[in-house]
Amino acid sequence: MGSMTLYVEKNSIIHNIDPLTKLLYVFVSIAATYIVPAHEFVLLVAAFSLLLLVLGKVFVKILPIIAISIILIISIIIVQGMFHPDNETILFSVGVITFYQEGLSYAALLTLRVINMLSAFGVLILTTKPDELIERLIKKGMSPKIGYVFLSVLQIIPQMRATMAKITDAQRSRGMETEGNLLVRLKAFFPLIGPVVLNSLNDTRERAIALEMRGFNTKGKKTFLNESQEYPYRKVMQLLLAAGLIAAIMWRILL
């Protein structure tokens, strides 16, 4: 049965990097594009994130994600291009619509930031098994309960969707109209959502019991089935990332 993870199982250099290093990269690369608001620099960072995706053999997978955000990007271009407060230099006009250079330049910066943000998260999410990432974080001291919430959601939501489909079929077989115009669908909504909610409440209670019986609330130290993997150059990479962030901050303060 489907899980909601976007992880792509492949063997690449990026897949073999410590999940925490990748998490740190997401943070540093996004922060850096805000600390240093220079077009060339942001372009460079975004290009680097995309390069990492290529190295991770998952570049194709990021395209639909960027495509989804195209509406956001277009609205940024329109709003900033036409209405940015610094707008002075007219670039071109189409009828009554006028685009200004300053606004478009700022829009370009924002667009690059968005693309970098998506790509950096892509590097983390597309090349890291969610359970591996969460387990690393728990070993670093994150609460196992929070970790459980993140992980179980990925599997339980598809299960709930399957239950929803089952209930829809059951109600349909009793003659309920679930397709048609808005009013029909609206009428069908409550008889469908009622059983789904009750069913998941009951499941949640039972799952809570099962977790209790599996010692989820045991105080004391947890152990792990999977041994911590040794990642080559983990320290070096993390130091480089930290140094990069500090350099960006220094640049901002000094220049």
Partner 1 sequence: MSIVDVEGLKYKYPDTDKLVLDDISFKVEKGEFIGLIGRNTAGKSSLCFALSGLIPHFFKGAYGGKVLIDGAEIKQHDMGEIAANIGLVFENPFSQMTGSKYSVYEEIAFGLENIGIEREKMISRIDESLELLDITAIKDNNPFDLSGGQMQRVAIASVIAMRPDVLILDEPTSQLDPQGSAEVFKVVENLTNEGITIIMAEHKMEKVSQYADKVLLLDNGKIIDYDTPANVFSRDDLLEFGIAAPVVTRVAKALGIKDAQSGEYPVTLAEISRENW
Tell me how far, at minimum, the Cβ of 201 lies from partner 1, in Å.
Answer: 11
Q: Which of 209, 172, 58 is nearest to 119 (CA)?
A: 58
Tell me how far, at minimum, the Cβ of 210 lies from partner 1, in Å.
Answer: 4
Q: Which stretch binds partner 1 (CB under 8 A): 20-28, 56-64, 148-156, 230-238?
A: 148-156
DSSP the chain: ------------TTTTS-HHHHHHHHHHHHHHHHHS--HHHHHHHHHHHHHHHHHTT-HHHHHHHHHHTHHHHHHHHHHHHHH-TT--SEEEEETTEEEEHHHHHHHHHHHHHHHHHHHHHHHHHHHS-HHHHHHHHHHTT--HHHHHHHHHHHHHHHHHHHHHHHHHHHHHHTT---SSSHHHHHHHHHHHHHHHHHHHHHHHHHHHHHHHHTTTT--S----SSPPPP-TTHHHHHHHHHHHHHHHHHHHHH-
Q: Which stretch binds partner 1 (CB under 8 A): 11-19, 52-60, 142-150, 247-255?
A: 142-150
Tell me how far, at minimum, the Cβ of 6 lies from partner 1, in Å.
Answer: 15
190 counts as binding partner 1 under rule CB under 8 A: no
Tell me how far, at minimum, the Cβ of 138 lies from partner 1, in Å.
Answer: 10
Q: CA–CA separation, 216 vs 243, rounded Å?
A: 39
Residues contacting partner 1: total by CB under 8 A: 35
Question: Which position among 64, 85, 95, 215 is part of the footprint of partner 1 (CB under 8 A)?
Answer: 215
Interface characters, 155-174, with partner 1 (x: CB under 8 A): xx--x---------------
Q: CA–CA separation, 162 vs 7, rounded Å?
A: 21
> Footprint of partner 1 on residues 39-58 (CB under 8 A)?
none
- Looking at the DSSP bridge assignments, the partners of residue 94 are 97
Q: Which stretch binds partner 1 (CB under 8 A): 32-40, 51-59, 75-83, 143-151?
A: 143-151
152 counts as binding partner 1 under rule CB under 8 A: yes
Q: Among residues 24 and 151, whose Cβ is nearest to partner 1?
A: 151
> Footprint of partner 1 on residues 110-139 (CB under 8 A)?
131
Q: CA–CA separation, 178 vs 172, rounded Å?
A: 7
98 phi, psi to nearest 5 deg? -125, 130
Question: Which position among 51, 63, 72, 210 is part of the footprint of partner 1 (CB under 8 A)?
Answer: 210
Q: Among residues 88 and 230, whose Cβ is nearest to partner 1?
A: 230
Tell me how far, at minimum, the Cβ of 108 lies from partner 1, in Å.
Answer: 41
224 counts as binding partner 1 under rule CB under 8 A: yes
Q: Among residues 181 and 218, whose Cβ is nearest to partner 1?
A: 218
Binding site for partner 1 (CB under 8 A): 1, 3, 131, 144, 147-148, 151-152, 155-156, 159, 202-203, 206-227
